[in-house]
Amino acid sequence: MARMIAEVYDALKSAGADDEKARAAAIALAETDVAFAEIRQRLRVLEWAAGANTVMLVGLVLKLIVFG
């Protein structure tokens, strides 16, 4: 069953949209929110990986400078 954002539905209804269109728009917006949550999760993993790579690169450069 699709989730719906009640606040969006209520706002669209009070703005004069018919019931079916307001419901469809609220469901579509809720599905978009889920997609953005998945993107945010993947971005966290990529940020961690970039940070780890940066730390390793700095360590390698320092090793080359000190022992090089």
What pLDDT is stored for residue 1 in this prediction?
46
pLDDT, position 57: 98
DSSP designation for 15:
T
Model pLDDT, residue 50: 98
How high is the mean pLDDT in each 10-residue block of the chain (68 residues)? 80 92 90 90 97 98 92
The pTM for the full model equals: 0.57
* Residue 1 located in a structural domain: no
Give the structural domain span for 19.
6-67
Q: Burial-class residue 26 by CB neighbours within 10 Å (0-12, 13-18, 19+).
A: buried
Total tally of structural domains belonging to the chain: 1
